[in-house]
Chains A and B, each alone.
Chain A
């Protein structure tokens, strides 16, 4: 028994097409390290080059957003479920390209 990590659809191709995995972890940070150790190709999509969680990567522990808990130091216990949920952003270079 460990912590279940739900892998979002766009990243499953980097995790052997699996939708979840189970890791041993006492914090969210440890769980994400466990996940990216098992599936190293996930790392660049979840973390910046500086090792910070990308701004459009949202992490929930049992449906609670970790931004409102202790972020990556949020404690986890066996049986918890961590969900990684994308947010989507973009837009044009309108104002930098207009003369």
Chain B
């Protein structure tokens, strides 16, 4: 049976994602998740059968939403932004392990458009922002066959326990 992969982050990082969502409202915000996969033994398996170790987010790289034509329900990160994000991650000894974006006045659930444009392996965090206030935050990974998203458990640790 498939097990839910886990995405770990500090309370501070979770708060920064929520704040970016609120600052961007009513438009979608976006940014890169910088971190690494753990080599622990508590590996999880997605529906596609790829072993998914727990993943730790250790830093963020907030980006500008490039979708000027429809920023309230779309976000875009250009290839140049991706390269910049990878450079920043490398400088910190980390990888770009995923992306976050907000859904203004909409649930934190991936849309059909999200799925069609997703890459595998990356974690996709979605934060819902209702009337300017951040609400639920979820994370997702695309299945190997591109047919579905697997929900990823977000484990937020106490900032004091860093």
Which residues of A are interface residues toward B (Cβ below 8 A)?
A: 8-14, 41, 44-45, 56, 58, 65, 85-95, 97
Number of A-B contacts (CB under 8 A): 96
Task: Say if the beta carbon of B76 comes within 8 Å of chain A.
Answer: yes
Task: Say if the beta carbon of B101 comes within 8 Å of chain A.
Answer: yes
Chain A nearest Cβ from B91, distance in angstroms:
16
Tell me the B118-162 residues at the A interface (CB within 8 Å): 118-122, 124, 144-146
Flag if B28 contacts A92 (CB, 8 Å).
yes
Of B77, B86, B104, B124, which is within 8 A of A87 by CB?
B77
Chain B nearest Cβ from A89, distance in angstroms:
4
Q: Which residues of A contact B79 (CB under 8 A)?
A: 58, 65, 85-87
Known contacts A10-B121, A45-B119, A88-B99; decide if A93 and B82 are in contact (CB<8 Å). Answer: no
Flag if A9 contacts B121 (CB, 8 Å).
yes
Interface size on B, residues (CB 8 A): 40
Known contacts A9-B95, A87-B79; decide if A93 and B119 are in contact (CB<8 Å). Answer: no
Q: Which residues of A contact B75 (CB under 8 A)?
A: 88-91
Flag if B104 contacts A11 (CB, 8 Å).
no
The residue in A12, A85, A91 that gathers the most chain B C-beta atoms within 10 A of its C-beta is: A91
Q: How far is the CA of A10 from the CA of B113 in the complex (A)?
A: 19
The residue in A44, A65, A88, A95 that gathers the most chain B C-beta atoms within 10 A of its C-beta is: A88
Q: How far is the CA of A11 from the CA of B30 in the complex (A)?
A: 22
Q: Which of B1-9, B12-20, B54-62, B66-74 contacts A (4 or more CB under 8 A)?
A: B66-74
Sorted nearest first, the 8 A-B pairs with minimum C-beta distance are: A91-B74, A88-B77, A10-B121, A92-B106, A94-B73, A58-B79, A90-B114, A92-B103
